[in-house]
Structure 1
Amino acid sequence: MNAAAAAVPLDGTAFQELERSFSGRLVRSGDLAYDEARKIWNGSISKFPALIAYCTGVADVVAALRCAANTGLPVAVRSGGHSFPGQSLCEGGLVIDLSEMNGIRVDPENRTVRAQAGVLLGALDRETQHFGMAVPSGIVTHTGLAGLTLGGGIGWLMRKYGLTVDQLLSVDMVTADGTFVTASEAREPELFWAVRGAGSNFGVVTEFEFRLNPVGPTVVAGPILWPMEEAPSVLRFYRDWITDVPDELTTVVVHRKAPPLAAIPPELHGTPVVAVICCYAGDVEAGEEVLRPLRAFGKPLLDLCAPKPFVQHQSMFDPSFRPGWWYYFRACDIDRLTDEVIDITAERSLRIASPLSTCVIFQLGGAVARVGEDETAVGGRGTGHTFNINGNRETAGGFAEERQWVRDTWSALEPYHAGVYVNFLMDEGAERVQQAYGAGKLRRLRELKRRYDPANVFRSNQNIAPAG
Structure 2
Amino acid sequence: MNIEKLRKAVQGTVWTRESADYQSVRSGLLWNGRKPDRFPEIVVRAMTTADVQAAVSFAAESGRRVVVRGGGHHFSAIALQDCLVIDLGGMNGLQVDPQARIAQAQPAVTNGMLATALSEHGLAFPTGHCASVPLSGYLLGGGIGWNAGAWGIACHNVQSVEVVLADGSRVVASETDNPDVFWAARGAGPEFFGVVTQYRLRLHDLPRAIRTSVWTYPISQVNRVEQWMSRTMQVVPRNVEFTAVFSSAPPPLAGQATKTISAIATVFAATEDEAQATLAQVAAGAPQDALDIQQSLETPLEVLYLMIGQFFPEGRRYAADTNWTADPARQMEIMAKAVVAAPSAESFAIGVVLPPPDGARMPQAAFSMVGPAFGCTYAVWGDARQDSANLAWMRTTSEKIAPISLGHYIGEADLDLDERLAGSFSREAFERLQHLQRTYDPSGLFHRLRSDMELLEKVG
Same fold (TM > 0.5)? yes
For 1:457 and 1:169, the matched residues in 2 are separated by 27
Choose from 373, 378, 399 the match for 2:367: 378
Matched, 1:389 2:380: no
2:210 to 219, 226, 232: 219
Structure 1 residue aligned with 2:433, among 445, 454, 461? 445
Q: Given the alignment, which residue of 94, 98, 117 partners 1:104?
A: 94
Q: Report the secondary structure of 2:238's partner residue.
A: coil
Match of 1:435 in 2: 423
What is residue 183 of structure 1 aligned with on the other side? 173
1:454 paired with 2:445, answer: no
1:273 to 260, 266, 277: 260
Match of 1:8 in 2: none
Q: Give the letter aligned to residue 435 of structure 1.
A: G
- 1:329-344 correspondence runs (5 A): 329-338=320-329, 340-344=330-334
**Residues 233 and 354, structure 2, Cα contact 8 Å, conserved in 1:** no
Structure 1 residue 374 displacement after superposition? 6.0
424-433 or 245-254: bigger deviation: 424-433
Structure 1 equivalent of residue 139 of structure 2: 149
- What code does the residue aligned with 1:378 have? F
**Corresponding residue number in structure 1 for 2:280:** 292
**C-alpha displacement of 1:316:** 1.6
Indicate which of 225, 237, 241 corresponds to 1:234: 225
8 Å contact kept, 2:328–2:353: no
Q: 1:445 to 1:267 in 2, by over 3 A?
A: closer
Question: Take 1:414 and 1:271, find their aligned partners in 2: how far apart are those partners?
Answer: 27
- What is the CA deviation profile of residues 231-271 of structure 1, one whole-angstrom value per residue up to 9, with x for unaligned ones? 222222222222222101012211011355xxxx3756983
> Quick one: distance in 1 between partners of 2:278 and 2:4?
63
Amino acid aligned to 1:148: Y
Matched, 1:409 2:397: yes
Q: Deviations over 1:389-426 (max 9, x none)?
A: 11111232433222222122111111111111111222
Q: Percent identity?
A: 28
Alpha-carbon RMSD = 2.2
Partner AA of 1:191 in structure 2: V
State the AA in 1 paired with 2:410.
Answer: V
In structure 2, distance between residues paired with 1:95 and 1:336? 40
Work out the CA distance in 2 between the residues paired with 1:155 and 1:409: 24
Q: 2: CA distance between counterparts of 1:196 and 1:325?
A: 30
What's the secondary structure of 2:328's corresponding residue?
coil
Task: State which drifts further: 323-332 or 409-418.
Answer: 323-332
Contact 1:449 1:464 (8 Å CA) reproduced:
no
How far apart are residue 336 of structure 1 and its match? 2.9
Letter in 1 for 2:261: V
Assess if the C-alpha contact under 8 Å between 1:373 and 1:380 holds in 2. no
Q: Provide the secondary structure at the position in 2 that maps to 1:459.
A: coil
SS at match of 2:11: coil
Structure 2: distance between partners of 1:67 and 1:188: 24
Flag the 1:270–1:212 CA change in 2: closer, same or farther, 3 A: farther
**C-alpha distance in structure 2 between counterparts of 1:132 and 1:450, whole Å:** 43
Change (3 A) 1:341 1:122: closer
Q: Distance in 1 between matches of 2:193 and 2:262?
A: 39
CA contact under 8 A between 1:229 and 1:350: conserved in structure 2? Answer: no
Change (3 A) 1:214 1:329: same
Letter in 1 for 2:100: N
1:6 counterpart residue number: none
> Cα deviation per residue 1:145-175 (whole Å; 9 max; x = unaligned)?
1101011100221001001101101000100
Contact kept in structure 1, 2:224 and 2:287, CA below 8 Å: no
Number of aligned residue pairs: give it: 445
> Secondary structure of the equivalent of 1:38?
helix
TM-score, length of structure 1 as denominator length = 0.89
CA distance in 1, matches of 2:419, 2:336: 28
Distance 1:430 1:218, change over 3 A: same
Report whether the alignment pairs 1:319 with 2:331. no
CA deviations on 1:200-242 (whole Å, 9 max, x unpaired) are 4120000001000112344012533111122222222222222
**What are the residue-to-residue correspondences of 1:52-71 with 2, within 5 Å?**
52-71=43-62
1:87 aligns with 2:75: no
* Cα pair distance change 1:215/1:258, threshold 3 Å: farther
Greater Cα offset, 318-327 or 162-171: 318-327
Gap change, CA 1:304 and 1:114, over 3 Å in 2: farther
Partner residue in 1 for 2:151: 161
* Residues 221, 308 of structure 1: 8 Å contact kept: yes
Does the 8 Å CA contact 2:107/2:197 hold for their aligned counterparts?
Answer: yes
Task: Give the secondary-structure state (helix, strand or coil) at the position aligned to 1:250.
Answer: strand
Cα distance change on mapping 1:373 and 1:433 into 2, 3 Å: farther
Alpha carbons of structure 1 residues 266 and 226: separation in structure 2 relative to 1, 3 Å = closer
Q: CA deviation at 1:380?
A: 2.3
CA distance, structure 2, for counterparts of residue 84 and residue 98 of structure 1: 18
| 2:389 match: secondary structure | helix
Q: Deviations over 1:24-62 (max 9, x none)?
A: 111222433322212211111233112211111011001
Query: 2:189·2:410 contact (CA, 8 Å) conserved in 1?
Result: no
The alpha-carbon distance between structure 1 residues 174 and 44, as it changes in their structure 2 partners (threshold 3 A), is same
Q: 1:89 to 1:310 in 2, by over 3 A?
A: same
CA distance in 2, matches of 1:150, 1:371: 22
Report the equivalent of 1:7.
none
Gaps of at least 5 residues in structure 1 are 1-12
Distance (whole Å) between structure 2 residues aligned to residue 266 and residue 145 of structure 1: 36
Please say if residues 379 and 390 of structure 2, whose CA atoms lie closer than 8 Å, have aligned partners that are also in contact. Answer: yes
Which amino acid in structure 2 is aligned with residue 192 of structure 1? F
Cα distance in 2 for residues equivalent to 1:462 and 1:77: 17
TM-score normalised by structure 2 residue count: 0.90
CA contact (8 A) 2:162 2:198 kept: yes
- Structure 2 residue runs of 5 or longer lacking an equivalent are 454-460
- Aligned amino acid, residue 75 of structure 1: V
Cα 1:444/1:281, change in 2 over 3 Å: same
Residue matched to 1:132: 122
Q: What is the SS of the residue equivalent to 1:418?
A: strand
Give the stretch that moved more between structures: 319-328 or 101-110: 319-328
